[in-house]
Every structure is written in C-alpha cells, then in structure tokens.
Structure 1
C-alpha cells in the first residue's frame, strides 16, 4: 500500500537492538509444532547486549605501566592469551575527579574509583588505563550477526580492540601519531570538559565462536587533568532489520533557490532513493507513480552506520512538495513536506548562533532549548526560507547522540539549513557525513587531518551570493583564492554578497584575544572589503556583537553613531554580526566592553535568534530573545535591529532617441521616446530636464541637452541633434510614379515661378525642354522640305 502523507518521521528505531528473531515465547510455540527430528533450524536467541554497565566485570590496570612491556607485540595485552590475573577487577562505571569518586556531574556517576595519580595523592596523572573483559558468542549467534554495536563514554581519549584488532578510536590522533613503542603508555586527547559518548561497530570478521576479548586503552590528556572516566554501557547485536531505519534526515541548501540537498543515516548498506512530487491534496496517498526518483549516494560513516545523500533539482517556485527516502525493498520513510516561494524578490531567513548540543553536559536540556528557539522563531516568521547556523551544531564532533538531538526538530526536514563548520564540528568526519553542501571546495578549506571535516562552499539564493568558509583551517591564502574565484565568476550577478565563518573576528567575549582570532582579524578584513562583501555572519563567542561599518580593518566612518538603526555603506564598508547561543547550552561573559569595533553588545544569557530580511535596497538584521530575559524582556522582544543600505553612487539610466530629422513646419515633442529609471528611485522620466529647442519653421540642425538626477544627487546627461528639413514636394520624391502631373498637383502651368511659401520647390524650366526639342525638329523638317521643292522647280524650268 502507498504510504499516506504525514509531516512526521516514524519513531526512531534503536540502532543498538534491531533483531529479526522470534521472542522466547514464539520459539517455544514453534518447538511444540515441529519435532527436532524434522530437521527444522531455529534462529538463535540473541541477547539484548553482550556488555552492560552494571553486570560486566572488567579486569583493569591503573598503575601507569605498559601491559605489553617486554613483548615484541604492543597489542599482546588485547588478545585472549594475555594473563591479566594480577589486574584489579570490578564492574563500571570507572573514574575519578581529583582523586575522588564524585564531582564529574550527576550524568557521570562513578561506581569504581580509579587510581588517578601515579603516587596516589597528587599529579602527575596515570597516563593510560587498560581494561579487559570477555564475551561469549556462540556459533549459532555468530551466524545471525551482522556485527555488534557499542556505546562508550570516556574522558579524555580511547581506543577499543576485539581479539587483538582495533575496532574504534576516539580523540586518539596523538596516539596514532606516536611511535609504536609509546602507544600503550602516553597522554592523548584534548581537554573535553565533560566526558564524551560515542558509538562504534564491531564487524563480524573479528569475532569468533566462543570467547571474545574486548580490550580498552583509556588515555589521560595531560599530567594535570582533573578527571578520568570510562563506561561501556552496551555491545548489542546487529542483524538485518525487516525495515531499514532512516535517521537524522536533514534538508540542506542547494546550489540555488530551485534545488535542495537531503542527507540521512541508515542501518543497511543497500541502494536507497529519494522520491518527490508536487504534494497531492491533504490525506491523499503519496503519488509514487508520478514521483521523480533520484538515486542516493553514500557510504559507511565513522559511527559504523551508512549515510545516503541526494539532490532535488528543477523545483518550481511557489510549490509544495512531498518526499520520502528509502526503497521498495527496504521500506520508505514517512512522507515529509516542504515548500518553495518566489525565485526572485524579497525574502527572509533565520540566523542562529552555536546550538552546541551537549555543551551544558545535559543533551536533553540543550535539545529542548534548540527546539524551542526554532518553534518561537518560525511562529514569528513562518515564511523563513533558510535556517542558517553559525557553527558548533554539536559539542563533540563524533557524538551521534548530540547529532540525534540537533537534527531531531521536524523543521530540519522541511526548511533548508546552511551549516557553518565550527571548531566543535571539525574533529570528526561526522559533520561532512551529516550534511550535503553545494559547490564544495574541499581543497580551499581542507580538513586538518584524515579524521576531520573541512571545505569551503558557496551558493546563490534569489540573487544574493553566499560564501561559507572553514575558519578552522588557518590557510588564509587558500580561502582568499576560493573567495576571489567565486566573486569573479558570480559577483557581478549578485545584488548582495554575504560571507559566513565560525570564528568571530569582531566579538567581545572569551575568544576575543585568541591567537587564531587575532591572526584572522589582521588578515581577513582587507580581503573582505576588497571583494565588495556587504555582510559577515559569525559565531563562536556565545555573546551578541554588532560591529560598526568596517573598511580594510578600520572604522569606515569614525563619526558613525553607536547602536544606530540605519547604516549606509560606502565602497568596501562591511557589517559584521556575531550571534549568541540559540540553544542556551553555553554563554560567555563580555571581556572587551570597550572594543573599538563594537557598535552593539548584548549578553543577558538568554537564547537568541536573528531574522534577516533581504530586499534589493536593504538588509535588515533583527535579533530577538527566544526566551524571557532576566530583565523580564519578553519572548520575541528585540535585542538589536539595524538596516544596512549602500551609499547610492549609481547614476540613473537615461534613454534618448538617436539624432534624426523633422520636416519643416511639423510639430516636434522633445520628450517623445525619452525615459529615465533609477535602481532605487524607479521611474524618473518626469524629472528629465531639456536644454535647447527646435524651431521647425526654420531649416537647420539644432542641439538638445538632456539631464536627470536621482534622490542621492547622481546625474546622467545625454545630447541629441535634430535637423529640420524642407517638406517633400508631392509627386517628385523617390516614390513618384511616371506620368504624375505636376501641374495638376501644384495648380500652376509649366513656366510659372511657383510659390516657395507653399512648400513647393522653385520652378526651373526643366519641364519645357521636350517641347523646345520637338519644335526644333519641326523647323528643320520644314527647311528640308522647302529646299527639296526649290530644286524640283529649277529642274522643270530648265
């Protein structure tokens, strides 16, 4: 049956416990129906999980020693042959905070206290902790499995092994870069703040029937780190589901207003598609027979799942579409809806600062704040055409739990998002695996490592050019070439140009004096002004700042009024806006209240969003509270509002007819065919001034000068020459026919002098010439006859 239309995704199926097995009661029932002698094979009864926090006993070493010391094989301690009898043993969770079994937070309880310090009392820390446990997988179970799905929480870095083979590593770049002999005992990772949660997959080819050894290396990031934490809460069976899952479905911006990109995660590596069509009437079935079907590309993700992505092209304006993802073989997602508007003209979009789901340590709370901000903003501005994020969508680049929360709002499947890559997004491939961005140049903002994300991209939307760069990459030269190439190819067609990147160079809070910020502040503004950019959108500093107009890194106008609601930009003048948190997950206090570039500063530690209205003549940027402030300012009350216009330096367009002729005595209108228009002021034809005149009674050439001025005083002039010519005599012009009688037309006989005042040409006698010739011939003939007669008479007389 064809799926009915609905606005929601189906409830998310657990990635960790999808099984196509019978329950115990069903198995018992089947056993009574068929005897063992009938040779019927029954599916193995798979457990919910092979590892859990409460019951799994781990052997562990926390004495700052290398468990493989003396062995030629660094990973000997990760195999089943290793003797860990001398190690401690306990159930999880494991951890310490300054040597104590508490203090990390309510979400991270410690059941077993680890020996945090080498001497047991004070730094330096134990560098690496080692854990081992065994899980039993029967041959029947192994035949059913497509792998195992694990969930692990850790601080600071971790590597996971099964039967001597590494199956996962998180925040472990330093480990991979270290000499082999040092990898069992070293500092690694980065200061994560709260412990991180990640998922991983154990492929079946590393499993064996019987005992399987799971080993973990847990790394402290430095000798003064305050805490350490480890909990493997799940290692669940993975089997082929009856229906594939379609998770984290997100719509991102296309290359222009007529396209959209879709990306989603799935649990099977099978061909999948997008089907889309103009939405039928409410309640009708999805029109599968008439839908456009697009193949989806993709591959395995860093979290052990599959992603799929596809582009919807050739959309029509002012249309509502229905779409679904999946396949006939795997099933289809619930149907989603989205709409397009006019492809030209005015529009608005919403700009959000650093949702950073998980930054508070409470993913559920951050998720709720993010959802509420979207709801508030779209209730106020339901026609918004983009959801533009300033970066740091999640707190931990590899955390699928945080991505689940960030992408959960239904609006993420219905309105195209524009994701900027932040410093919390860059450390994993998850960012580029979750989003499909248009015109991506992975070399311009290249990823910083093989395990991180990167790239610069651009798109055009209703005549506005948007360029998004990866400011995590410090290679300004590469960014410059990308920006210059895009502007050279598309800038002339853009009514406005907007640049977005994460690391604000004109903010006033915690990051204002970071070395990378200072470096970008010294290099980027001159480039941005030179490119003719109008607006720069930024995040990172979790407080609101709106700059004065800035040109080449300096105040464009030292006399500009602070907090002005209207700013007029001259050539090279740029407005910079830094957004506050959209989810409320984290705020930074203002540390530079007297920054020379800051026109407006606001930090009330309440959630914000910004509505940006775009017209031909102006961009209006209004920032609102999406929750009530401590000062009792209400939801949707204004934090700041500014309208950006350009200084009008464009002269009107003046159209004047080319030089021409007018007949003597006829009427002449000097404004016939004359028009004037201005990009801002519209039709200025009535304002055109004419200097000079044409006397149609007098033959000659006359010069007219036209001029027009717009409201800003820009003028345009043009010159025109008009020649007054004598009127043509009827019947004598190029169109006269043979036999036309000039006498009848003029009312005078040949030989008359004519009347110049009547417009006729003066008479010249040329009309009498044929008569004179004829008369001469007759005279000559008469003379000839007379001579002949005289000769005859003489002959007769003789």
Structure 2
C-alpha cells in the first residue's frame, strides 16, 4: 500500500465550497482546555481534511482484472492486509477522455491518465478501476470525531469502502443487482455526460485509531463510453459545530397565495424551525419576540446531509415578512424577506425553460447565466409572484454542486418557486429532498424506482388552478385520474386552468420524434382539452415554440396558417408553450420547422425568459431575450407575444320586475327596475329593448318582452305580464316591484313571466304561517255549528217524546 498520510504531513486543504445562509459557518472544533492529574492538556486539533486531490497518494489498478480473483471474499481487496504493492501509485485526479488526459471539461482536470481501454488502444473499455489509500487517525482525534464527510466526483458509478465495509455508493444499482462474483469487474452506472459530484459520510463506527484503509471501485457504464473520471477531493472531520450550516434554502409555492413552503439543507441532525414576522424597519434586528415559530420536519438526504422543510400558512395580503431558519441551540440563518400582494385580481409570474446547470460542462458559467436571467427578468418585472421552472433544474440528478449553483440566487429564497420534475432531475431523491410541493400525490406520476423522484401536485393561486405532473412516468392513466379528480373538485373555483409538465409534446427540435414524446402526443391532448385546460407550459427541447390553438390533438381552426398575437379560445381549445434555455447551458437546433402545430418558432441560441400576465379575461404570454447577442438580440427585446382570451358564449344577466298590476290612469314606465350586466362588456342596461306596451287607460292584461345582446352576440330575453285594474282595486306594481333574472331559455317562470293565477293578479302565494289564523277561525265556526246542531236535535227529540 502507498504511504499513508498522517495528520502532521497533510496540508490544510480548503473546505468544499457550499452556498451557506448561516451567519457563522461551521468550523473545525476549537481546542478546549481540560485538566488532568498530570496538569493542563489540549484536546486534539483536527485537520481540515484527511484526503485531498493534490497530495493524497493512491494505489490503483486499471488493467481490467478482478483484484479479489482467487479469494472467497470478493471484498478482500478493500481490507488492510491486502497486498497492493504491484499496483500503480499516483495522486489524483484520475481520468481519460478517448484515451487522452484532456477533453472532459475545464471543471474536470486530469492529473493522472488512466488506461481507458482493456487492450490499451481501443474499445472495449476497462470495466472497473480499483483504488486504495490509507488514512491515519489518532486515538485523540477519534474521540473528537462524529464521522468523516467526503466529496467524490466520478463518471460513471462508484462504490466506497472503509476497512472492508461499504460506506457509500452512487449510480450503482446495477452493481447491487449483479451476482456477488461479478461485482468487482463489470459495467455499471448510466451515461451521465459530465462527471457527477456527490457527498457521503463515514460513521465513526467504521473507523479505528491508526491506519484506516479507504478503497474505491470506479465503474465504466459500457464498453464504448468516451470517458472515465475519479477524484475524492476531500474527507473532512465531522464535528458538532458551534453553529449549524443552512444551505440551499429555497422558497416554493404553497397550496394557495397565503402559504409558502421552505426547504433547506443542514449539517446537523437536530430539531430546527422557521420563525417569521412582519418585517421590521430597515436595519432593525429580526423581531424574535413577536415571531411565529413553525417546527420543521426532515431527515437524512441521499447526499449524506440533513434536510428540513416547513410550511408557512395564514399569511396576510400586501405584507412584507422577515424569516429565518435554525434554532436557539444551533443558531439562526441570516434573515430573509418576502412579500405578499393582493390575494385576488391581476398578477404576473415568470416562466423559465430548462436551466440545466452543468449541461455545458461548466457549472460556474451556467450559474452566471442563470443568475443573470433572473436579475434581468426581475428588474423588468419586480412584482412577479412566482418563478416557474419547466424542469431540468440541474444536469445530473444527484449533483449537489449543480444544486448549489441553481439555488444560489437570493431570489430563490424570496419569491416562491414552482419546480417541474425533468428527465435530468428524476434520477435521484435530491429533487424531492430539495423542494417541498403542495398537494403532492406520490401515486400519480409515481417515482420509477426507489432511488428516483416522482409525484404530481397542484395548487390554487388567485383563482387560477395550476397542475404539475411528472411526465417522466409514462402511466397516462394515473395522470388522468389525478387530473380529473383535481379538476372535478376545484375546477369550478378557477377562472383559468394551467397545466405544466417537462416533456414538450408540441416542440420542434431534437426531441420532437422521441418515442415517449410521440406516445404522449397521441394520448394527452384529448384529455387536456376534455378537462378544460387553457394553457400548457413545457420544456425539454431547448428551443422556443408556441402552438396554434389545439383541440383534441388537432388544429382548433384548420384554416389557420399564420401566427397571431391575439387568439380566442373556444371550448376545448388549448395553447401550448415550450420554453428555451434560461441559463444558456444548452440549445437544440430546430429539426421540424414545418410542424403543423407550430405557430411561432424561435432558436437564436440566446437565453430567454417568459412573463405571463393573468387577468380575469386574458392570459398574456410574452417571451424576452435576457442577454445581448448581436443586433437582433437586445436584452429584454421581445421574442414572441400572444394574448389568450376565451370565446364569449355567456349571455348577459337580465333583470326585470315581477308580474304585477297597475291602476287605471296611472303612469307606467316599462324600463323602471330593468337592468342588464355582462361579465365581459359590463353594464348593458342602456342596450335593453322592450317589445309591447301597456295602455293604462284600458283595463286588461298586457305582455312585455325584454331582450339584450352583448358584443359577442349572446342574447338574453325575459317576459313580464302587467294587468291594468280599476283605481283602488289592486296593489299595483309599485307595491310589489319584485325582480327576476332571465336565463335566455324562453321559460316564463324562469324569466319572471309566470302565468300562475295568484301571481298574475299581483298576489303573493300563501304560506302555512299566513293561512293559520283563517284555518283556526274556520275550525271554530265548524265546532260551533256542530254544537248548535246537536243541541237542536236533542230539543226536537224531547219535544217529540212529550
């Protein structure tokens, strides 16, 4: 084995960089004084890391052989007594790209070139690479440790062992499923593109005083893979910090406009809380005494950290709040602020296509592009009430480095985020562990494996119903049940319905003819039209497409051939929008420019964002460029704009007085008490027409017919009966003005024109309470009559007998 590093010989390597909200970051445990019988002594001072890239020497095997061949124990090569003296030795990082020591990307430099190919020259690849090193931990150090926290970057899969016991594994499902005898030498993992960075924890139970053997199995995913990579960059002491860290804090949407969800990562498995209160004056300290405290829930993440999540409910409108996370025992994060607006009325939100941090191979560059797009969009639309992401927030589902970058903008802690589960998000529990979503149904759009993320969810926001489904799951029946159930329960409460999912079914670029896309395009549109969705928001294809109105999978207007900035939807008509990249990490060329459904196509390979304005009567969707690239691509110049309204099919509400009487010779105005209003056109009273007249000089009955039409031609009618009676003979309509609303059906009873005889005379029908005195009087008269008759009969009988 190579010479182990000791605490004295190890350089002080930098900690892994994580975005932290904490007011004081966790540090190595300070040396404390304690007194013994021998005098004053100091506790062990722990190194910053036990392993680092530059100086840790690894023994490694890259010759496509099983290091445990001939042994009954396939993990014999991970123990301290294994003889690795014939292996190569070098420092990291290790890798190869098409047999060379460059080409993976600036973020993944190769210090030691691995033998990529089994025959040394060309495919097939070496299946599994094996690494070993030693870490010395003194007895005093061991008493201070709560474990070791490691950071490893790899391509394609990896398993990590300490003293013969596995302590971590990433993208290694195929290894676990393989027969035991094959696990040391096999292909495993997935074609990830760029290398993945993950973190893990070694428990103290796996360590001992003295030299500890750290072993790594690195797996190539297939015989033709172009690259291989390994770098265990740090192995830091885990200690109880003076202050917990609070990383990746993100605010996500709540169940409605009065709620918010918060999620964060932390390095301590202790109780934590959210405290929030109306924001104090600028510069004032957080008002802890008057704050509301909500206990957070959570647990260990797949990256070896802890997450915590909490829901804030019952917020007031038009209020700015301050909040912080943590506890009195562990410390508190810096205070953040967020604001609510009116809980009803017009509003806007921002929609972003696949940020996919890391897709370019340069996480830092993608982070800058993502931050800049947010800055540009929110400077232009500072009152935006949601940040809606179309999915693929990161490039590699399990990469905490990419999540660090995506969640780094302060705006993510201040404006509620609506995340969609993309195909680059689904392959790890990290998506579920970073975001808290409302009304999540884990059975609809369920996770495809124990290690992936899933579920469909919904929320209401200012009377708009939003539904978000996990299109990675191809079970359309389960999605359909979820959508129909939610729409049946809440659709009548919504003035608009918006559906979002990642895999665009009406795009025009690289994925347009993917098998799963074709399947969804054949099955989903009829359902979407049937349940009354107005707008569908999508991503995945990294180019901009806006559809014509589509009904049941066909053009709503077969004769429509040119794009319009104003579209009017009839029943079942749906507008589909596919967003381009918000970070600039990746673009796809247009491959289907003549797609029958595409009204507007744009691919300039320029970062985009979309502002969506919502009113009672319209949804306006405007897509902008967020960077300057050439004369056509000025910042905040418009890519496309469309306003969606509904075909007006609702008749106005017409109100006329009830049937009644008018005295002979009196004045009569047939328009008195008549009104009309339309949801689109407003007050239409002046547009009401009346047919027929009442001659108050002549006794008799008269019929009046009222009618009103809105701008769309929808007409409402009502009928009214008026009787002219002799002076003093009737109540007159003034004494019983009443009122009735016409429904356009022509039914007199429904329109205030009942011909019931009592109603025609202007008389109100009797109720039981009103008739009771007369019934009692009649009953008494009957009883008196019967008594009189009985008395007379008795007298007649007596007279006869005498």
TM-score interval, normalised by the smaller of the two chains: 0.7 to 0.9
In the alignment, which residue of structure 2 is the partner of 1:147? 147
Look up the SS of the partner of 2:42 in the other structure.
coil
Match of 1:19 among 15, 25, 28: 28
| Counterpart mapping for 1:342-381 below 5 A | 342-381=342-381
Tell me if the contact between 2:420 and 2:469 (Cα under 8 Å) persists in the aligned partners: yes
Compute the displacement of 1:272 (Å): 0.9
Moved more, 298-307 or 174-183: 174-183
In the alignment, which residue of structure 2 is the partner of 1:766? none
Structure 1: tracts of 5 or more residues without a match: 1-7, 731-798
For residues 376-415 of structure 1, what are the alpha-carbon distances to aligned partners after superposition, in whole Å with 9 as ceiling and x for unaligned?
A: 0000001100000001111111111111111111111111
In the alignment, which residue of structure 1 is the partner of 2:441? 441
Q: 1:652 to 1:729 in 2, by over 3 A?
A: closer
For residues 633-660 of structure 1, what are the alpha-carbon distances to aligned partners after superposition, in whole Å with 9 as ceiling and x for unaligned?
A: 3100000001111111111111222222
Tell me if the contact between 1:9 and 1:334 (Cα under 8 Å) persists in the aligned partners: no
In the alignment, which residue of structure 1 is the partner of 2:544? 544
* In 2, Cα distance between equivalents of 1:533 and 1:579: 18
Compute the displacement of 1:40 (Å): 4.2
TM-score (norm 2): 0.87
1:722 aligns with 2:722: yes
Give the structure with higher Rg (CA). Answer: 1
Tell me if the contact between 2:386 and 2:416 (Cα under 8 Å) persists in the aligned partners: yes
Structure 2: tracts of 5 or more residues without a match: 1-18, 731-802
In the alignment, which residue of structure 2 is the partner of 1:318? 318
Look up the SS of the partner of 1:568 in the other structure.
strand
Moved more, 99-108 or 455-464: 99-108
In the alignment, which residue of structure 1 is the partner of 2:615? 615
* In 2, Cα distance between equivalents of 1:487 and 1:470: 17
Compute the displacement of 1:729 (Å): 7.2
Moved more, 51-60 or 576-585: 51-60
* In 2, Cα distance between equivalents of 1:262 and 1:424: 23
In the alignment, which residue of structure 1 is the partner of 2:513? 513
Tell me if the contact between 1:604 and 1:630 (Cα under 8 Å) persists in the aligned partners: no
| Counterpart mapping for 1:102-121 below 5 A | 102-121=102-121
Look up the SS of the partner of 2:372 in the other structure.
helix
* In 1, Cα distance between equivalents of 2:398 and 2:78: 24
* In 1, Cα distance between equivalents of 2:729 and 2:401: 94
Compute the displacement of 1:529 (Å): 0.7
Compute the displacement of 1:261 (Å): 0.6
Look up the SS of the partner of 2:299 in the other structure.
coil
In the alignment, which residue of structure 1 is the partner of 2:766? none
* In 2, Cα distance between equivalents of 1:349 and 1:557: 29
* Count of matched residue positions in the alignment of Structure 1 and Structure 2: 712
1:217 aligns with 2:226: no
Q: 1:694 to 1:146 in 2, by over 3 A?
A: same
In the alignment, which residue of structure 1 is the partner of 2:54? 54
Tell me if the contact between 2:698 and 2:724 (Cα under 8 Å) persists in the aligned partners: yes
Tell me if the contact between 1:118 and 1:126 (Cα under 8 Å) persists in the aligned partners: yes
* In 1, Cα distance between equivalents of 2:660 and 2:216: 92
* In 1, Cα distance between equivalents of 2:585 and 2:367: 9
Look up the SS of the partner of 1:277 in the other structure.
strand
* In 1, Cα distance between equivalents of 2:381 and 2:200: 40
Compute the displacement of 1:35 (Å): 8.1
In the alignment, which residue of structure 1 is the partner of 2:758? none
Compute the displacement of 1:39 (Å): 4.6
Look up the SS of the partner of 2:300 in the other structure.
coil
Compute the displacement of 1:488 (Å): 0.4
* In 2, Cα distance between equivalents of 1:324 and 1:277: 10
Runs of 4+ in 1 over 3 A off after TM superposition: 8-15, 34-41
Moved more, 203-212 or 398-407: 203-212
For residues 589-633 of structure 1, what are the alpha-carbon distances to aligned partners after superposition, in whole Å with 9 as ceiling and x for unaligned?
A: 111111111111111111100000011111100000000133443
Compute the displacement of 1:724 (Å): 2.3
Tell me if the contact between 2:20 and 2:248 (Cα under 8 Å) persists in the aligned partners: no
Tell me if the contact between 1:466 and 1:498 (Cα under 8 Å) persists in the aligned partners: yes
* In 1, Cα distance between equivalents of 2:682 and 2:75: 76
* In 2, Cα distance between equivalents of 1:535 and 1:690: 41
For residues 452-477 of structure 1, what are the alpha-carbon distances to aligned partners after superposition, in whole Å with 9 as ceiling and x for unaligned?
A: 11110000001110000001111111
TM-score (norm 1): 0.87
For residues 305-334 of structure 1, what are the alpha-carbon distances to aligned partners after superposition, in whole Å with 9 as ceiling and x for unaligned?
A: 111111111111111111111111111111
Q: 1:14 to 1:191 in 2, by over 3 A?
A: farther
Moved more, 376-385 or 720-729: 720-729
In the alignment, which residue of structure 2 is the partner of 1:604? 604
* In 2, Cα distance between equivalents of 1:566 and 1:676: 28
For residues 705-758 of structure 1, what are the alpha-carbon distances to aligned partners after superposition, in whole Å with 9 as ceiling and x for unaligned?
A: 11111100011111111222333279xxxxxxxxxxxxxxxxxxxxxxxxxxxx
Look up the SS of the partner of 1:298 in the other structure.
strand
